[in-house]
């Protein structure tokens, strides 16, 4: 099933494009087709829409072509109806952004592209429409395409495809155009039918927000909710938040009966091994993999109400199945849609986008939006008017303002984004973890050579070089190892904020420590690389003779021998024992997929 | 195997029952409301709210029989709101003319029932693919104190977050089947072997030239695609006598579902106008 939206400015021909698609695929009911005078009327269902010849609200269409089911949201182009565009785009797998070939990329094109990027719509199609009005000229298309990439390259968008079309004439919608031989890409429909679909839902971190407790009779009590992300099986241990009680799943009931496993997107009933207090708003997560918690949140906000944002004024926060009182404590900046410059602001007005700090009356259990859109998304509601006034994407926990002030002097006068723009690659932290002797430092050194040859700014950190200097005061006790990792993570953060690709190699055996290192870095830029080398192989290698000493009892609490190594649950890259060249290639691929390195 | 649309519908049903204080499930005896009631039972293992039937008095006899059996089997509480009562009260005037439709009058009766039973939510089986104005509906559609829909001021719905805040005397129409098509409904009926009124299956029936039920008409092999007020719901010529045959028919047909509804044919904006005034 593909959910997609169409967006673009007024008069770019969105409704006509959809009408053309349905018409040429013969998907329009015959009795409807008879009364049709204009293809756009198929979706413009409201009287005002037909009279003003514009689209005001999202219209949904449903069709099925060769086994793929499509849900299409036709969204309005007028800036004043941006909230309706957001409604359609927030659940979309793909967005078709239309541009009029005569007008080119407009401010509204950029706004919709920016919103799609913030919402994490993974696929974007730029359809340059009305090619018939510019005599199907290739250079017009190329110029628009270039303008679009100039803008979109500064955003995070997984995939972009550009197609020249004429909705009115039907060129490259369903049928290949006879007028544009210079174009050898797919038609719009072909692309929609064949584009690869990943799930929008996080498949790894199990989260379920209880919607209600179902108790049809005395002997049954089930927690009803949708699996927001990840998967769960009976017998697995879970923690209920905020109570922090731990229990085990007894059964999972789906719409068709008992399930061996529930996965993201499913509505289920959970029964627990023992009666635990739970109600609407309770979040269920695996005990070993829990969401972050904070009362202060750093949030990207799209304001959707005519009444501007008021700081220090109560709003309702809608998050998963919870309603929490909150206030906007600070507006960090407002984003200029055209230049992407961050402008100082005191408020956000209708359709403006910005970064704010929210303070909530209770702890919120969340994951960053980039990692998990279900637990990372929120809406704000005005308690008086009951309007939904904003859509928000959580970036992470915010420090409280006092700590913020202490950190401000750190912020360089030249910020990371400026450095990244000049050096042509993004900053990130590659955190190599694994047993002693698993090959972390060797791999990091070889990768650094390759990156250096590509003119990248790199920065190497490993256990040994820190132990000899910065951390020479630390013993090898458990607490000191934690401190060792904390300092390493702080140094990594400083280098990261200065634009470097940081290669940090630390055994870092505890998941909690690695998680703390991750939290210091902007979401999406901390890449955990797990060198999954069997202990026997590390023992065999034993480059520093440490295992031998540990086995003789000379080194207490040695990871793998007398102290545990907690394997990463969801590393960005999991490297088994394999040739070095292969690992290097996988690392370079990862850096390209994550847009750290420009595409080659 | 349950599909995504089922999980989605159950999610919205649970949101409605959890967030609203006094919801009711609008039950016409038609396939959509039957499917909705079944989904409700899947969501809660029983029916957590009463069924509300708006009775125009122009029912197919099969529909009423079916309704009463259904209520018994589901152990449901049934509220019947009669258009005739509204006419008797004088809040509604019967249409003049040869085939008076009580379709528009239903809205008044419905809003009277909302007020009488202090309902704050009506769960309905309407689908966006039925009609253009319905294609613009949200899952949770807010109605003001007068029961009116204001399409230009609809609340946005971001992700799956539901804003069900409302002031006293306002209510919500909740449409958990928004993303379903007619085909999805029949696939669900097939998957769970659900019983639906016999009107949906083809057999010889007496109909007039517009295929409206008519005792004086001639006999034709027809079935009904929608079941509404008997005075305005036309049949279609069909040989589909089973669910499987209906599925096959739908996969190959090109006529719209509500094309048989005389009430929708009156003007371009017929549905929108009725919806603004509180129609379902």
CA distance B54 to chain A (A): 26
Dihedral angle of Cα B36, B39, B44, B47, to the nearest 10 degrees: 40
Quick check: B136 and A57 CB within 8 A?
yes
pLDDT at B268: 47
C-alpha A86/C-alpha A419 separation (Å) is 32
Task: Considering the candidates A9, A505, A508, A583, report the single residue annotated as catalytic.
Answer: A508
The answer for A 73-112 residues in CB contact with B (under 8 A) is 83-84, 86-87, 90-91
B208: its two tokens: 């007039």
Q: Report whether A498 contacts A416 (CB < 8 A).
A: yes
What is the average per-residue pLDDT within A213-231? 93
Report pLDDT digits (tens) over B255-275: 666 565 555 554 445 556 656
B68: its two tokens: 């009463």
| ipTM of this predicted structure | 0.89
Quick check: A45 and B133 CB within 8 A?
yes
Quick one: pLDDT band at residue A582, thresholds 50, 70, 90?
very high
Residue A19 has pLDDT above 80, yes or no: yes
Quick check: A29 and B268 CB within 8 A?
no
pLDDT at A425: 92
Report pLDDT digits (tens) over A307-346: 999 999 999 999 999 999 999 999 999 999 998 888 889 9
Residue A403, C-beta contacts closer than 8 angstroms, at least 6 positions apart: none
Nearest chain A residue to B7 by CA distance is: A267
Nearest CB partner across the interface for B272, out of A47, A226, A321: A47
Q: Is the sign of the CA dihedral A413, A417, A420, A422 positive or negative?
A: negative
Give the total residue count for chain B.
Answer: 280
Report pLDDT digits (tens) over B139-183: 999 998 888 888 777 889 999 999 999 999 999 999 999 999 999
Residue A10 has pLDDT above 90, yes or no: no
A15: its two tokens: 């409704």
Percentage of chain A lying above the pLDDT 90 cut: 61
C-alpha B12/C-alpha B176 separation (Å) is 5
Backbone φ, ψ for residue B6 (5° rounding): -65, -45
Quick one: pLDDT band at residue A405, thresholds 50, 70, 90?
very low
Q: Is the sign of the CA dihedral B152, B153, B154, B155 positive or negative?
A: positive
Nearest CB partner across the interface for A61, out of B135, B156, B273: B135
Quick check: A254 and B2 CB within 8 A?
yes
Report pLDDT digits (tens) over A238-281: 999 999 999 999 999 999 999 999 999 999 999 999 888 899 99
Residue A52 has pLDDT above 60, yes or no: no
Q: Report whether A96 contacts A125 (CB < 8 A).
A: yes
The answer for A 324-383 residues in CB contact with B (under 8 A) is 373-374, 377-379, 381, 383
| CA of residue A365 relative to chain centroid, distance | 17
Percentage of chain A lying above the pLDDT 70 cut: 92
Q: Class of the B4-182 domain?
A: alpha beta
Say if strands A267-272 and A222-229 run parallel, antiparallel, or are unpaired: antiparallel
Q: Is A339 a catalytic residue?
A: no
Q: Considering chain A, what is the average pLDDT of its residues?
A: 88
Q: Report whether A129 contacts A153 (CB < 8 A).
A: no
CA distance A276 to chain B (A): 19
Quick check: A64 and B183 CB within 8 A?
yes
Quick one: pLDDT band at residue A31, thresholds 50, 70, 90?
low
Task: Of B251, B36, B248, give the one whose Cα is nearest residue B127.
Answer: B36
3-state secondary structure of A427: coil
Residue A285 has pLDDT above 50, yes or no: yes
Strand boundaries in A111-180, DSSP class E: 123-129, 159-164
3-state secondary structure of A98: strand
pLDDT at B251: 84
Residue A55 has pLDDT above 60, yes or no: no
What is the average per-residue pLDDT within A84-102? 92
What is the average per-residue pLDDT within A69-96? 85
Q: Report whether A177 contacts A128 (CB < 8 A).
A: no
pLDDT at A408: 43
Report pLDDT digits (tens) over A416-474: 888 888 898 999 999 999 999 999 999 999 999 999 999 999 999 988 788 788 888 88
Q: Report whether B204 contacts B75 (CB < 8 A).
A: no
Chain B contact present for A464, CB below 8 A: no
Q: Which residue has the tokens 């989904």?
A: B39
C-alpha A337/C-alpha A151 separation (Å) is 10
Domains, in order of start, for chain A = 2-194 (3.40.50.300), 207-286 (2.40.30.10), 292-400 (2.40.30.10), 418-593 (3.40.50.300)
Nearest chain B residue to A306 by CA distance is: B153
Q: Report whether A270 contacts A222 (CB < 8 A).
A: yes
A402: its two tokens: 């006092």
Beta-carbon contacts below 8 Å between A and B: 156
C-alpha A57/C-alpha A62 separation (Å) is 16
Contacts of A91 in chain B (CB under 8 A): 159-160
Q: pLDDT tens per residue, chain B (280 residues)?
A: 458 999 999 999 999 999 999 999 999 999 999 999 999 999 999 999 999 999 988 888 888 999 999 999 999 999 999 988 888 888 888 777 766 677 778 888 999 999 999 999 999 999 988 877 777 788 999 998 888 888 777 889 999 999 999 999 999 999 999 999 999 999 999 999 999 999 999 999 988 888 888 888 889 999 998 887 777 778 889 999 999 999 999 888 766 665 655 555 544 455 566 566 666 5
A380: its two tokens: 């704000």
3-state secondary structure of A403: helix
Would you call the peptide bond into A503 cis, given omega within 30 degrees of 0 as the criterion? no
Pick among A4, A25, A41, A62 to test the B interface (most B CBs inside 10 A): A62
- Chain region(s) in chain B for CATH 3.40.50.620: 4-182
CA distance B116 to chain A (A): 25
pLDDT at A41: 61
Quick check: A62 and B128 CB within 8 A?
yes
Q: Is the sign of the CA dihedral A577, A582, A587, A591 positive or negative?
A: negative
pLDDT at A406: 42
pLDDT top residue among B142 and A53? B142
Q: SS in 3 state form for chain B?
A: CCCHHHHHHHHHHHHHHHHCCCEEEECCCCHHHHHHHHHHHHHHCCCCCCEEEEECCCCCHHHHHHHHHHHHHHCCCEEEEEHHHHHHHCCCCCCCCCCCCCCCHHHHHHHHHHHHCCCCEEECCCCHHHCCCHHHCCCEEEECCCCCCCHHHCCCCCCCCCCCCCCCCCEEEECCCCCCCHHHHHHHHHHCCCCCCHHHCCEEEEECCCCEECCCCEEEEEECCCCCCCCCEECEECCCCCHHHHHHHHHHCCCCHHHHEHHHHCCCCHHHHHHHCCCC
Chain B contact present for A518, CB below 8 A: no
Dihedral angle of Cα A411, A417, A420, A421, to the nearest 10 degrees: -140
Q: Which residue has the tokens 């803008």?
A: A151
Pick among B20, B40, B156, B157 to test the A interface (most A CBs inside 10 A): B156
Q: Is the sign of the CA dihedral B120, B125, B129, B134 positive or negative?
A: negative
CA–CA distances in Å: residue A443 to residues A432, A544, A591: 9, 17, 15
C-alpha A17/C-alpha A548 separation (Å) is 71
Quick check: A318 and B10 CB within 8 A?
no
Report pLDDT digits (tens) over B3-16: 899 999 999 999 99
Chain B contact present for A220, CB below 8 A: yes
Task: Of A6, A79, A9, A69, give the one whose Cα is nearest residue A43.
Answer: A6
């Amino acid at each position: 099933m593909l959910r997609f939206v169409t967006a673009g400015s007024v008069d770019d021909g969105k409704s006509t494009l959809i009408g053309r698609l349905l018409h040429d695929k013969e998907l329009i009911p015959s009795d409807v087709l008879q009364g049709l005078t204009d293809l756009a009327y198929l979706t413009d269902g409201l009287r005002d829409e037909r009279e003003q010849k514009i689209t005001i609200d999202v219209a949904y269409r449903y069709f099925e072509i060769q086994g793929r089911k499509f849900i299409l949201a036709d969204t309005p182009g007028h800036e004043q109806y941006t909230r309706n565009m957001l409604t359609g785009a927030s659940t979309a797998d793909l967005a078709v952004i239309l541009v009029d070939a005569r007008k080119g990329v407009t401010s509204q094109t950029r706004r919709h592209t920016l919103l799609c990027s913030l919402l994490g719509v993974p696929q974007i199609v730029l359809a340059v429409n009305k090619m018939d009005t510019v005599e199907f000229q290739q250079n017009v298309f190329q110029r628009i395409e270039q303008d679009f990439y100039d803008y979109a390259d500064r955003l995070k968008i997984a995939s972009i495809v550009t197609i020249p079309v004429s909705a009115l004439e039907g060129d490259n919608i369903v049928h290949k155009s006879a007028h544009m031989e210079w174009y050898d890409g797919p038609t719009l429909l072909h692309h929609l039918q064949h584009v690869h679909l990943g799930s929008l839902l996080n498949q790894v971190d199990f989260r379920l927000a209880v919607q209600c407790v179902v108790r049809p009779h005395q002997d049954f009590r089930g927690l009803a909710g949708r699996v927001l992300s990840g998967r769960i099986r009976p017998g697995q241990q879970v923690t209920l938040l905020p109570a922090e009680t731990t229990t085990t799943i007894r059964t999972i009931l789906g719409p068709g009966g008992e399930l061996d496993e529930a996965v993201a997107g499913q509505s289920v009933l959970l029964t627990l091994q023992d009666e635990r207090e739970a109600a609407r708003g309770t979040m269920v997560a695996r005990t070993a993999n829990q969401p972050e918690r904070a009362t202060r949140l750093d949030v990207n906000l799209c304001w959707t109400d005519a009444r501007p944002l008021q700081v220090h004024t109560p709003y309702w926060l809608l998050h998963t199945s919870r309603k929490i009182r909150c206030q906007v404590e600070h507006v960090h900046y407002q984003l200029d849609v055209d230049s992407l410059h961050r402008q100082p602001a005191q408020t956000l007005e209708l359709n403006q986008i910005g970064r704010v700090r929210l303070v909530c009356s209770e702890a919120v259990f969340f994951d960053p939006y980039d990692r998990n859109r279900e637990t990372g998304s929120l809406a704000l509601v005005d308690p008086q008017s009951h309007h939904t006034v904003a859509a928000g994407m959580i970036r992470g926990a915010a420090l409280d303002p006092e700590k913020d002030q202490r950190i401000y002097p750190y912020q360089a006068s030249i910020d990371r984004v400026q450095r990244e723009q000049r050096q042509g690659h993004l900053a990130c932290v590659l955190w190599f973890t694994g047993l002693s002797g698993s090959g972390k430092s060797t791999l990091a050194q070889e990768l650094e050579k390759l990156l250096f040859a590509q003119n990248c700014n790199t920065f190497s950190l490993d256990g040994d070089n820190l132990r000899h200097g910065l951390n020479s005061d630390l013993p090898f006790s458990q607490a000191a190892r934690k401190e060792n990792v904390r300092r390493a993570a702080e140094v990594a953060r400083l280098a990261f904020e200065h634009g470097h690709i940081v290669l940090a190699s630390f055994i870092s055996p505890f998941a909690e420590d690695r998680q703390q290192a991750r939290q210091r870095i902007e979401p999406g830029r901390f890449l955990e690389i797990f060198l999954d080398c069997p202990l026997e192989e590390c023992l065999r290698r034993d480059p520093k003779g440490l295992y031998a000493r540990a086995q003789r009892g000379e080194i207490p609490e040695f990871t793998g021998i007398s102290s545990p190594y907690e394997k990463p649950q969801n590393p960005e890259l999991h490297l088994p024992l394999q040739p070095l060249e292969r690992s290097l290639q996988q690392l370079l691929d990862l850096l390209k997929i994550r847009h750290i390195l420009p595409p080659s | 195997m349950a599909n995504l649309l089922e999980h989605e519908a159950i999610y919205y049903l649970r949101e409605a029952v959890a967030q609203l204080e006094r919801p009711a499930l609008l039950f016409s005896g038609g396939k959509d409301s039957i499917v909705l009631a079944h989904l409700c039972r899947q969501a809660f293992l029983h029916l957590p709210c009463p069924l509300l039937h708006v009775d125009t008095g122009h029912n197919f006899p099969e529909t009423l029989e079916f309704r009463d059996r259904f209520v018994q089997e589901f152990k449901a509480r049934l509220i019947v709101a009669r258009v005739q009562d509204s006419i008797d009260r004088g809040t509604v005037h019967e249409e003049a003319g040869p085939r008076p439709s009580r379709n528009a009058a239903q809205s008044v009766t419905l809003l009277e029932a909302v007020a009488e039973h202090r309902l704050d939510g009506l769960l309905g089986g309407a689908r966006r693919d039925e009609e253009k104005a319905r294609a613009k509906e949200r899952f949770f559609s807010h109605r003001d104190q007068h029961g009116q829909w204001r399409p230009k001021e609809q609340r946005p719905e971001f992700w799956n977050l539901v804003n069900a805040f409302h002031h006293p005397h306002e209510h919500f129409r909740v449409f958990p089947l928004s993303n379903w098509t007619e085909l999805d409904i029949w696939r669900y009926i097939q998957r769970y072997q659900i019983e639906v009124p016999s009107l949906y299956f083809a057999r010889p029936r007496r109909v007039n030239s517009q295929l409206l039920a008519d005792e004086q008409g001639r006999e034709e092999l027809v079935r009904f695609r929608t079941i509404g007020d008997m005075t305005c719901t036309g049949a279609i010529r069909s040989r589909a006598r089973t669910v499987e045959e209906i599925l096959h028919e739908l996969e190959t047909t090109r006529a719209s579902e509500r094309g048989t509804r005389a009430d929708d044919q009156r003007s371009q904006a017929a549905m929108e106008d009725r919806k603004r005034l509180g129609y379902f």
